[in-house]
Amino acid sequence: MEQRMKSQNNYFQLFWTLALTDFKLRYNGSILGFLWALLKPLMIFLILNFVFSNIFAAGDPYFSLRLLIGIILWTFFSEGTSTGMTSLFSKAHIITKTYIPRWIIVLSSSANVLITFFINLLILAVFFVLAGVYPSPVALLMFAIYCILTFIVILAFSFLTSTLFLKFRDLNQIWEVMLTAGFYACPIIYPLDVIPVNLHWLLLLNPMTFIIQYSKIALVDNQFINPVQHGIYIVVALVSLFLGYAVFRANVKNAAENI
């Protein structure tokens, strides 16, 4: 029992060290780079808010808050999946020289974007205070669940693609195109109501549509959907994580050879 606890503690220390190292290397010697990571969602928000507020803000005084929620969640998703996909390749110098559990590399690479995400959440909180909107404790709890769901989706995708990227190096370019398309396919700029009801199910096949849509409703409107729908998406997210990790386990044995 003591040996198991010691091993788990070592894994946590390794995970935390790798995550912090990734974060530091990402912005090493570049204060502007770190500031840009924080300002990028705000710049996108300001531009889109200026362009689309006159189109979609009619009758919705909180359009700007909804837009910012969507941008922050999508930025977290896009950066997390992109970083997770290339995690093993970016640690080639470690993988080819020593052995550490490969899953820790993927997990730490995906987790380092959490630092920026948490800071962006603080910025989001400031906007809510300035707008005079104060979500209820239940709304905040639901939003926390949506954030966890987002991270589960990120991990599922990262485990699935990190080993595949070692064989197919153009996956990241394909994913960039899909992220651009996904941004406009999610109800970030526009409310879901502008899409015909009979097409909602198609958009909701994308887990980020579900997360972004109901994060807005919970935080701004203090409204919540049927718990059964939450249960379905939680199960789907967990099954996706399991399948992604299964693919990872099946292919990671050849990671060093494929680098």
Residue 211 confidence (pLDDT): 93
Among 219, 72, 65, smallest CA distance to 138 is for 219
Residue 12 confidence (pLDDT): 65
Among 63, 47, 77, 46, smallest CA distance to 191 is for 63
Structure tokens at 53: 């507020």
Q: What would the DSSP string read from start to end of the chain?
A: -HHHHHHHHHHHHHHHHHHHHHHHHHTTT-HHHHHHHHHHHHHHHHHHHHHHHHHH-TT-TTHHHHHHHHHHHHHHHHHHHHHHHTHHHHTHHHHTTS---HHHHHHHHHHTHHHHHHHHHHHHHHHHHHHT----HHHHHHHHHHHHHHHHHHHHHHHHHHHHHHH-TTHHHHHHHHHHHHHHHSTTSS-GGGS-GGGHHHHTTSHHHHHHHHHHIIIII-----HHHHHHHHHHHHHHHHHHHHHHHHHGGGHHHH-
CA distance 256 to 259: 5
- Other C-beta atoms closer than 10 Å to the C-beta of 178 total 13
Residue 57 confidence (pLDDT): 64
Split into its structural domains, the chain has a count of 1
* Domain around 71: 2-258
The region that residue 59 occupies, defined by phi over 0 for left and psi between -120 and 50 for alpha, beta otherwise, is left
Residue 166 confidence (pLDDT): 86
Contact 253, 101 (CB under 8 A): no
pLDDT tens across the length of the chain (259 residues): 444 545 556 666 766 666 666 666 666 655 566 666 667 777 888 888 777 777 776 667 888 899 999 999 999 999 999 989 998 888 777 766 677 778 888 888 877 788 889 888 988 999 999 999 999 999 999 999 999 999 999 999 999 999 889 888 889 899 999 999 999 888 898 888 888 888 887 887 788 998 999 999 999 988 887 788 888 888 999 999 999 999 998 888 776 566 6
Q: Which residues, 6 or more positions from 183, have their beta carbon under 8 angstroms from its beta carbon?
A: 74, 78
- Other C-beta atoms closer than 10 Å to the C-beta of 235 total 10
Contact 113, 86 (CB under 8 A): no
Q: Tokens 């962006």 — which residue?
A: 120
What's the whole-model pTM score? Answer: 0.85
CA distance 110 to 145: 18
Residue 160 confidence (pLDDT): 92
